[in-house]
Amino acid sequence: MSGTKVAIIGSGNIGTDLMIKVLRTSETLEVAALAGIDPGSDGLARARRLGVATTHEGVEGLVDLDGFADVEIVLDATSAKAHEHNAAVLAPYGKRLVDLTPAAIGPYVVPPVNLDDHLDEPDLNMVTCGGQATVPIVAAVSRVTPVRYAEIVASIASRSAGPGTRANIDEFTETTARALEVVGGAARGKAIIVLNPAEPPLIMRDTVYCVVGDCDEEAVRTSVEKMVAEVAAYVPGYRLKQRVQLRPVEPGDPLAALGDGPGRLVSVFLEVEGAAHYLPAYAGNLDIMTSAALRVAERLAAR
């Protein structure tokens, strides 16, 4: 039985990983087409070998493909600027869009936090890889106690950062920081990305700091651990590196100014190992984005 037909725009690392993930793991979705702009890209060549229709003429080529009318969901794995153009071209066709770029035309979506709130939106934004890894943690803390300030540091292997990622560094930090507030519930958010050139490449590491007031420390730990399990249900390589830490923030501590006074600092250390569907396991930043997008597309299909 065929599933809901999806098309993917972007034949780079993320788009190709997403295509392979749908083909290998999804029981409800069917890849109808992969669109790119580089006729010599590995992604398009791989798609052809796998029997997937392709075009190297971008979104314009996609809408001209036989079978485009049957596509219900389009997943955009290009860049923030390109998504604005792609969304405009696709608007007359009534397709549901899942945006894997930091363009944020539609609402931010982090599956275990707010997916059900946005199932009727025409364009759903997947924030960033750092956002998908860290916003759930900030949301988990926010469920127990108000988060005055949240700061995250996402460290990814330089080798797993393609041209699209590198071209969108500013959008990455701005979009992630905003999502910490809008979805995570922090009063203020800050995001930092590090492209780690280490050899051999290291897997994705994420550090989350939340400044809170007085709180039930065990309730915070329990909420974070529960959220980690929810994310790991669709990103198996997502895990805590160590027990959630809390320490007092005393008067005079620079963090006290960020949090508007004394309180507690919650520190959460994560790593994300990729499923190695396309790139090696160190590319957890790709895996968490494509896994989250797959989760959203399957939920839209079920809807």
Q: Which of 19, 22, 73, 129 is catalytic?
A: 129
Catalytic (active site) residue 129: yes
On whether 36 is known to bind a ligand per the annotation, the reply is no
On whether 12 is known to bind a ligand per the annotation, the reply is yes
On whether 162 is known to bind a ligand per the annotation, the reply is yes
Tokens found for residue 235 = 């990103």
Read off the DSSP letter of residue 217. H
3 state SS for 98-141: EECCCCCCCCECCHHHHHHHHCCCCEEECCCHHHHHHHHHHHHH
On whether 168 is known to bind a ligand per the annotation, the reply is yes
Measured between alpha carbons, how far is 154 from 148 in angstroms, rounded to an integer?
20
On whether 232 is known to bind a ligand per the annotation, the reply is no
Distance of CA 27 to the CA centre of its chain: 21
On whether 148 is known to bind a ligand per the annotation, the reply is no
Residue 170: which H helix or E strand, with range?
helix 169-182
On whether 295 is known to bind a ligand per the annotation, the reply is no
Surface-to-core class of residue 254, CB atoms within 10 Å of its CB (0-12 exposed, 13-18 middle, 19+ buried): exposed
On whether 285 is known to bind a ligand per the annotation, the reply is yes
Read off the DSSP letter of residue 269. E
On whether 281 is known to bind a ligand per the annotation, the reply is no
On whether 167 is known to bind a ligand per the annotation, the reply is yes
Residues 6+ apart with CB under 8 A from 240: 224, 225, 228, 268, 269, 270
Measured between alpha carbons, how far is 73 from 23 in angstroms, rounded to an integer?
15
Measured between alpha carbons, how far is 279 from 165 in angstroms, rounded to an integer?
15
On whether 196 is known to bind a ligand per the annotation, the reply is no
On whether 142 is known to bind a ligand per the annotation, the reply is no
Surface-to-core class of residue 190, CB atoms within 10 Å of its CB (0-12 exposed, 13-18 middle, 19+ buried): middle
Residue 297: which H helix or E strand, with range?
helix 284-302
On whether 2 is known to bind a ligand per the annotation, the reply is no
On whether 11 is known to bind a ligand per the annotation, the reply is yes
Q: Are strands 123-125 and 96-99 parallel, antiparallel or unpaired?
A: parallel
CA nearest to 106, candidates 129, 75, 130: 75
> Which residues does the annotation place in the binding site for NAD(+)?
11-14, 160-168, 285
Annotated binding site: 11-14, 160-168, 285
> Would you name the residues annotated as active-site residues?
129
